[in-house]
Amino acid sequence: MFAAVAVLASPAFADGDAAKGKKVFNKCTSCHDAVEAKDKVGPNLVGVVGRTAGTLESFASKYSQAMKDAGAAGLVWDEANIAEYLKDPKGKIPGNKMAFAGLKKDDEIADVIAYLKADPKP
């Protein structure tokens, strides 16, 4: 399993296309803002790449215990961890409350991460 993860985490992700990722992010905007630090059903994702899971202060009272525990256990949203979470949210963090089935295509995942990394502007 870890070998597969290592392959997933390989530099393929560096090749994500932020412009395409902006479109993929349309699947997230009902619950997430990545442009303004405004929380919706989900925490805002401004600067999420590199953030410790479950630690956005403005969302502190709304995170699931599972998400806070994951962060307390050291989960940082680097590209590999975001990719695994988006592929299978419930598999990556059992008990978390993001009601999202996941992104099936690796290139969509890479693109949306590139978008999030690019410090999105409107």
CB atoms within 10 A of CB 10: 10
**Sign of the torsion formed by the C-alpha atoms of 12, 86, 111 and 113:** negative
In the complex, what is the shortest distance from the CB of residue 44 to ligand HEC, in angstroms, rounded to a whole number? 8
Separation CA 114–CA 49 (nearest Å): 10
**Whose CA is closest to 26, among 88, 115, 99?**
115
Stretch that binds ligand HEC, among 1-9, 13-21, 97-105 (CB under 6 A): 97-105
Among residues 83, 110, 112, 114, the one that binds ligand HEC under rule CB under 6 A? 112
Interface residue with ligand HEC among 20, 27, 87, 90 (CB under 6 A) is: 27
**Contacting residues toward ligand HEC, per CB under 6 A:** 27-28, 30-32, 41-43, 45, 48, 53-54, 56, 63-64, 66-67, 77, 82, 86, 96-100, 103, 112
